[in-house]
Structure 1
Amino acid sequence: MGLGGFFALNSCSQKTTSGVAGDTNAPQSTQATEVAKVATYQVPVEYYTLDNGLKVVLSPDKTAPVATIAAYYNIGFRIEPRNRTGFAHLFEHMMFQGSNNLGKMEFIQVVQKNGGILNGSTRFDFTNYFEIVPAHKLETMLWAEADRMRGLNITQENLTNQQGVVKNEVKVNVLNQPYGGFPWLDMPQYANKNWHNAHNFYGDLKDLDAANLEDVQSFFKTFYAPNNAALVVVGDFNPAEAKTWIKKYFENIPKSTLPPKVDLTEPRQEKEQRFSKDDKLATKPALAFAYHMPDKNTPEYYAMGLLDQILLQGNDSRLYQALVQERGYTGSVSGGINSGLGNMFNYNGPMLWDGSLVYDKTVSADSVVAVLDREIQKLDKEGVSQELLDLAIVKMRSDLYDQVSQLYGFGKADLLATFALFENDPKRINQLETEFRKVTPELMQKTLREYLRPTNRTILTINPLAKS
């Protein structure tokens, strides 16, 4: 368990894609027909809501005799209380400390002794818990998830214990690691202005120490309620049976009174920002760049997803070719949309497109930034041809299917849960490819000029203090 948890699902796969989809010389009517086509593979989706507000998504898949159960709560570290940084992540740990009918760590034992795996994680806009078990254990896991949604064993002993665990996690993963938290934890704090998007999500140690039982009880009562959650079942199961069990175990859990939505908006950035951070454990300099994204689900949002494929994803990407292959500044460059903490689909607020690299000491940060500018300007000057756009769609489609099939269907469950939570429409999973195919070369260039301008950018460099 932890802030990053078991999965990433981020857009930073290092795959090389060759070939071009479509005919760049096809008449517009033919291209329009191609755009109108839907994906040949459709994810089965049954969606409904219980009387207490719990959103339920069922997606049968007989590929393997396993079932994936995912419980997602609409509470991430963006909206955790002020002066309680890291509280959403701390609470994730509390969910494994016992419930009404399962003692401390017994939830984990129920899964593992039945041959399953489980984990949880905290992200920008949700906290999630999932189990992958043999299909015949589905009812057991639905009962167990309902049991801890109904009530936790919140004690001072459990709280003190988990405060220590989380503080140790911060020390191991961030404070005592070279490049710890770079750039996934650091960059939002530098690039954003709204506190909700810009505070230390892992938690300041003093804030973690300040959490008390009243905080925990109030947080659980408010946010860990059925009307603030989505339950997804994917795999080899009978939908009618699953619906009976879900109604039996979840329907009588009381709903909560949810607080007003938090204002997460970010002001338009009009000037480039540059920051530097000393790292006593790093032996080489590092650099990260970030640009504010278009609003989610707009045409420009889908265009940015395809620009990401062209510029950053895979060994055929413009930045990999320019920084690694041509100049040898670094051995790799990574990043993407919501990189390090998810993918371009599973968030609900302002977001960054970012990239990062560790580079040789003989190279200046300005040289790296100059390459970034050169590649973006080159793409702007030449324009995005239909051929290049088609290739980006092929790469995006490949990434989408990678995500959907990841970890016995957990990747599918992740998208279904977040689309249910944030858009109230898990069937969006079957519309994504169509949305990307609507993007035109003209929209790509318009999006590049507005969102990849230097004045929309934040640069963060790491100054290495350790001897190599």
Structure 2
Amino acid sequence: MKTLLWRTSALGVLMLLLGACVQDKAQTQTTSEFKVPVTYYTLDNGLKVILSQDDTSPTAIVAVYYNIGFRIEPKDRTGFAHLFEHMMFQGSENLGKMEFIKLVQQNGGVLNGSTRFDFTNYFEIVPSHKLETMLWAEADRMRGLDITQENLTNQQGVVKNEVKVNVLNQPYGGFPWLDMPQYANENWYNAHNFYGDLEDLDAASLEDVLAFFKTYYAPNNAALAVVGDFDEEQTRGWIEKYFGNIPAAELPPQPDISEPRQETAKEFVKNDSLANKPALAVAFHMPERNSPEYFAMGLLDQILVQGDNSLLVQKLEKEKGFSSDVSGGINYLGNMFNYKGPMLWMYDLTYDNETSREDVLGAIEEVMSGLKESVDQEMLDLALVKIRSRLYDDVGGFFGLGRADLLCSFALFDDDPSRINSLEEEFRKVDVETVKRTIDEYLRPTNRTILVVNPLLANNQKSE
């Protein structure tokens, strides 16, 4: 599983400086806004296409997002969506094994792919004059993979090794990004082991892979974004030429991925013999995506855990000295925009063996119990400056890859990639009363799940 890093510090600093000039909400609203150019249309076979021009550098991004992620993989095939991501690099009709990677790299480009909760994505960043080549290559593997038992067996071994290295044999492996959904959620689709049980990975058959590809890797289950320096009319012609005659598939009905309202606080302990000190994660179920409370939670995330001036960082790091690594956010496998189903707002930290869990939770309660009374318009304005900086950082970072991500996500989940230009406005609509209402419903103790890592090795050493 790969993590995509899309942020560039220079743009972030620039936006922070711009934000620092904002003195009140009225002035904030008059600050100039950057609008992302968006051309959106759908091919006859159902492929959603988003074009966004940016001639600041002679590069182009091709991003293909398939509407299949961890969440809805087959019940007896955990980790299957991630395994299939690996299969997409094993060869297609005209490109042999690993030739796709060589094609990109030998043309001066970079590429990657990842599996997330609600999509699997692939992207290439290349010099602009190689755009047509990349469109052809992506269409070639959408049209048909070279799916063989040899390739499958090889990638099963690769993924199993990845699980062992990143989770099973790693201190705090899977904590909390992989662990917490399994504890906090009730619906299997949201609560199973996304990385995959080793037995399930072994059980995947060639027939499973063929059926998965035929079902989910179809143009009517995908979005294609092209971002960068290109001629729009020419690019539309290439997209029609290479993708237009790929047949659509009959898509199965989507399973119910809803999550019941949590009515009772949960707390769990995970023993970890490789950890050297305890760790703690706290999670709350998020409001419904795109609701007023959803945007309020985005601001509360900034207030509570984002940056050195956030309330929990100030309390746990600066005042109490319990930790030096408080971090958190909405959607640990992406951001608060690129998911579709139920989600958790979460934060985590490690702390010294001499510090008790009760001490840490007590300090957290000091912050949370006074949060509703302390929220005012000035606090929201500062949170808006921070989230605006983060948003612009995402849109402009890494040659526009963050822009491609949002465009594809909004096309897949909302059929409206132009939402990228209304996000700031939605955050501005959030008032103090909406935030307080959100705190009452979504940051209540009965909506909370706590997961503590117990470092067995450290405890054993201490007792000897």
User: Shared fold (TM-score greater than 0.5)?
Assistant: yes
* Match in the other structure for 2:373: 381
Q: Secondary structure at the match of 2:125?
A: strand
Pairing 1:367–2:365 present: no
Quick one: distance in 2 between partners of 1:369 and 1:459?
10
Answer whether contact 2:258 2:341 (CA < 8 A) is retained. Answer: yes
* Aligned with residue 345 of structure 1, among 317, 332, 337: 337
What 5-or-longer segments of structure 1 have no aligned partner? 25-30
Residue 372 of structure 1: how far off its partner (Å): 1.7
Quick one: distance in 2 between partners of 1:58 and 1:334?
34
* Aligned with residue 151 of structure 1, among 144, 153, 157: 144
Quick one: distance in 2 between partners of 1:348 and 1:428?
14
* Aligned with residue 455 of structure 1, among 446, 451, 454: 446
Residue 8 of structure 1: how far off its partner (Å): 7.2
* Match in the other structure for 1:28: none
Quick one: distance in 2 between partners of 1:8 and 1:408?
9
Residue 34 of structure 1: how far off its partner (Å): 6.3
* Match in the other structure for 2:81: 88
* Aligned with residue 412 of structure 1, among 403, 410, 426: 403
What 5-or-longer segments of structure 2 have no aligned partner? none
Residue 369 of structure 1: how far off its partner (Å): 1.5
Quick one: distance in 2 between partners of 1:247 and 1:88?
28
Bigger proportion of residues as helix: 2
Answer whether contact 1:97 1:105 (CA < 8 A) is retained. Answer: yes
Quick one: distance in 2 between partners of 1:261 and 1:374?
42
Answer whether contact 2:47 2:220 (CA < 8 A) is retained. Answer: yes
Code of the aligned partner of 1:316: N
Alignment of 1:202-217 (within 5 A): 202-217=195-210
Residue 40 of structure 1: how far off its partner (Å): 1.6
Pairing 1:446–2:437 present: yes
Residue 196 of structure 1: how far off its partner (Å): 0.1
Pairing 1:6–2:7 present: no
Answer whether contact 2:219 2:247 (CA < 8 A) is retained. Answer: yes
Answer whether contact 2:6 2:401 (CA < 8 A) is retained. Answer: no
Give the fraction of aligned pairs with identical amino acids, expressed as a percent.
66
Distance 1:387 1:8, change over 3 A: same
1:419-453 alpha-carbon deviations (Å, 9 max, x no partner): 00000000000000000000001111110111001
Quick one: distance in 2 between partners of 1:438 and 1:247?
40
Code of the aligned partner of 2:39: E
Code of the aligned partner of 2:34: Y
Distance 1:322 1:20, change over 3 A: farther
Answer whether contact 2:22 2:28 (CA < 8 A) is retained. Answer: no
Quick one: distance in 2 between partners of 1:275 and 1:128?
33
Code of the aligned partner of 1:433: E
* Match in the other structure for 2:312: 319
Quick one: distance in 2 between partners of 1:148 and 1:127?
14
State the TM-score, normalizing by the size of structure 2: 0.95
1:285-312 alpha-carbon deviations (Å, 9 max, x no partner): 0000000000000000000000000000
Distance 1:377 1:21, change over 3 A: farther
Answer whether contact 1:38 1:434 (CA < 8 A) is retained. Answer: no
Q: Secondary structure at the match of 1:325?
A: helix
* Match in the other structure for 1:27: none
Pairing 1:179–2:172 present: yes
1:18-52 alpha-carbon deviations (Å, 9 max, x no partner): 8473437xxxxxx5x965x6862000000000000
Quick one: distance in 2 between partners of 1:160 and 1:54?
31
* Match in the other structure for 1:170: 163
